[in-house]
Amino acid sequence: MKRLGGITLALTLVGGGLGPVGVASAEGQSQTVQPKPESGGEGTGVETPATAPPGASVPAESPELPAVPPTAGPPRGAELERTTALLARLHQAAQRQVQLGELAQGGAANRATRAYGADLASDFRALDGRVIAFAAENGVGEDRLNDPVRGENVVALRRHTENLTRLAGERGETFDRDFWVAVAGEQSASSDMLPSAMLDQPALSGLVSDFSAGLDRASARALVAARPTESAPPSPASEQPPTVP
């Protein structure tokens, strides 16, 4: 028996549960109320989920987020070695183009040759900067890009060194002639060393593609700039009349 406010509740245990509830009001009138089952049905043993009272806020269920695939990290192990070797080839090839371009600016006689050399050095200096930046992002220092690469074309490298030594001591028309020969050989060798199958890295594949496109543009411009300038025939006024003995 429990008194709550002006109402007296009488709870009776029946069979281990609650029996009818006697409710006595303050006026002394009694009323019997049957308790509601606490489960999904009598004897089922299934609990009925609790419902919120009217007006109460019900927390919304969190939506199930899709699984996020793991991001690819920097290359490691054998993949890092392959990446480093390719970056070193690109770096050294770009440096060779820059060296040729700088020599042309100081030793060429033809204005077109000097202009070509300036563009060549500028274009491949920019490409080399991208190579160095990509290597730094993957933990490869610039000093490693200068190391000899296993399997490199030793004959082409020796020929390039000989070309640089010869061009450094030449000036004028002789320089122009030997310069275009050196450019053609160097750009052909650089194109051959680019791998036909890119590594499984989109950024590196794009870098190799841009390098190859740079070599193609440089070769096409060289064909135009290397054309010999045709000398105009002498005008009739400039010709001296023959001397009469």
Whether residues 83 and 173 fall in one domain = yes
Question: Does the residue 216 lie in any domain?
Answer: yes
Question: Residues 89-119: pLDDT tens digits?
Answer: 899 999 999 999 999 999 999 999 999 999 9
Whole-number Cα distances in Å, 203 to 38, 55, 208, 215 = 64, 56, 9, 19
Average pLDDT over residues 193-204: 65
Average pLDDT over residues 218-245: 63
Question: Does the residue 176 lie in any domain?
Answer: yes
Whether residues 25 and 83 fall in one domain = no
Give the range with max mean pLDDT: 68-77, 191-200, 203-212: 203-212
Whether residues 100 and 195 fall in one domain = yes
Whether residues 18 and 98 fall in one domain = no
Whether residues 82 and 161 fall in one domain = yes
Note the pLDDT of residue 148: 76
Note the pLDDT of residue 151: 63
What would the two tokens of residue 150 be? Answer: 């296993």
Whether residues 23 and 143 fall in one domain = no
Query: Residue 137's domain is classified under what CATH number?
Result: 1.20.1260
Question: Does the residue 73 lie in any domain?
Answer: no
The Cα–Cα gap between 187 and 124 comes to 12
Whether residues 204 and 95 fall in one domain = yes
Instruction: State yes or no: pLDDT of 179 exceeds 70.
Output: yes
Instruction: State yes or no: pLDDT of 183 exceeds 60.
Output: yes
To the nearest 10 degrees (0 to 180), the angle between helices 172-193 and 111-137 is 30
Whether residues 117 and 195 fall in one domain = yes
Query: Quick one: pLDDT band at residue 215, thresholds 50, 70, 90?
Result: very high
Instruction: State yes or no: pLDDT of 173 exceeds 60.
Output: yes
**What is the extent of the structural domain holding 22?**
2-30
Q: Kindly provide the b/e burial profile for residues 39-49, where b requires at least 16 CB atoms within 10 angstroms of the residue's own CB.
A: eeeeeeeeeee
Average pLDDT over residues 111-130: 95
Give the range with max mean pLDDT: 17-26, 82-91, 161-170: 161-170
Whether residues 24 and 138 fall in one domain = no
Whether residues 97 and 20 fall in one domain = no
Instruction: State yes or no: pLDDT of 169 exceeds 70.
Output: yes
Least confident window among 40-44, 101-105, 124-128: 40-44
Note the pLDDT of residue 197: 47
How many independent structural domains does the chain possess? 2
Whether residues 141 and 20 fall in one domain = no
What would the two tokens of residue 29 be? Answer: 């009138």
| Element of type H or E holding 4 | strand 2-4
User: Which amino acid, 169?
Assistant: G
Note the pLDDT of residue 157: 80
Question: Does the residue 42 lie in any domain?
Answer: no
**Mean per-residue pLDDT of the chain:** 73
209 φ/ψ angles, rounded to the nearest 5 degrees: -65, -40
Whether residues 23 and 101 fall in one domain = no
Question: Does the residue 145 lie in any domain?
Answer: yes
Query: Quick one: pLDDT band at residue 149, thresholds 50, 70, 90?
Result: confident
